[in-house]
Every structure is written in structure tokens, then in C-alpha cells.
Amino acid sequence: MSEAPNNQVLQIWQSQPVEGMKMSTEAIRLRAGKFERKISRWYLRETIAALVVIVAFSYFFAKTPQIPLRITWGLFIAGTIWVLVQLVRKGKPKTIPADMGRSNCLEFFRSELERQRDLIKDVWTWYLAPLVPGYVALNVSFAYPHPIGWVRWVLLDAFFVAVFVGTWKLNQRAARCLQRTIDELNAMEPSH
């Protein structure tokens, strides 16, 4: 194979025009601070959203005299709190890690993919499942005292089951795709 075209490509690559961007350390610190603020805003947004839901459910909880409905709203409140805690633990945006230079590209890329895989594989257990008891209780406590026709309930339940199962299946598929890439990376390690 002739090296000449390759050498020319290398030359074209290395001599391409660049803007010559420079950042002062003050500007760097400012941008690093922006990352921290972005995360604080994320926490605030998620907490406010959860609080709005909790306040609404608490209102229904306080207003209803019926025990089954109270249990329903109580379960929804507990589920929402659980989701919020898990969201903060698992879903928060990542800051730029300070130890990036310690990991080679293969290790770093694999850990990024593993983090994403675990997040989406388990999403069912921490994002959807905590709200299921409340939904089941709503079915039981609302359908029986206020029958609006079993067909409507069946259709509504079928819709929610389809959404839950569909979300779960999509996530499992995405997790499998990530796992395939992780396996490819594992095969490239020096030990293999």
C-alpha cells in the first residue's frame, strides 16, 4: 500500500485552519461554575415538580372522607416521594469528572455505557413500579363505589398496561443494544 496518499491526508488534517480559541483560567472557572448551577437548577426543577404532585395528592387525601380513596392518594404520595428520591440518586446530570485523565478511552466509554444501561434497564423498578400500587388502589376504590361501566375501566387499564409494558420493552431493547456495544468493547481489551 502506498503511503503517499496517507501522508497527504495527514498533512491536510494537521494544516487545517483553526480559530485559535483561548480561554483564560477565569473564564474556565466561570464555565465550571455554570455546570454546578445547572445541576442545582435540575434539583430545584425536579423537586418543585414532585412537590406540586405531592401537594395535589395531599389535597385529595385531606378532602376525601372515604378510607379506600385515602389509601389510594397515600400510595400515590409515597410512590412520588420514592420516584423523587431515586431520580435524585440515579438520574442527576453528571458534572465533568475530575479524574477523566486516569481512565483510558475504552474504560471511560464503557463506564458511560454501563451507567446508561443500568439507568434504563432499571427504569421500570424505580420510575414506573412505585406508582402501580396507587393506580391499582384507584381502580379498586373508585371503580366499585362509583361504577362507570366496566368496559371503560377495562379500556383505561388496558391503556395503562400497554404504556407500562411498552416503556419497559423499549428500555429493555435499548439496554440490550448498549450491552452489545459493551461486549464489543470488552473484546477489545488487552486481556482478550
Nearer to another protein, 106 or 155 (CB): 106
Q: Is 23 in the site for another protein (CB under 8 A)?
A: yes
Q: At what angle do helices 132-143 and 67-90 cross, to 10 degrees?
A: 160
Stretch that binds another protein, among 123-131, 143-151, 155-163, 184-192 (CB under 8 A): 184-192
Nearer to another protein, 151 or 188 (CB): 188
Residues in the chain: 192
DSSP 129: G
Is residue 185 within 8 Å of residue 106, measured between CB atoms?
Answer: yes
CB atoms within 10 A of CB 77: 19
From 62, 65, 89, 104, residue interacting with another protein (rule: CB under 8 A): 104
From 58, 103, 172, 179, residue interacting with another protein (rule: CB under 8 A): 103
Nearer to another protein, 62 or 187 (CB): 187
Total number of residues binding another protein (CB under 8 A)?
55
Nearer to another protein, 103 or 139 (CB): 103
d(CA 6, CA 93): 41
d(CA 27, CA 4): 43
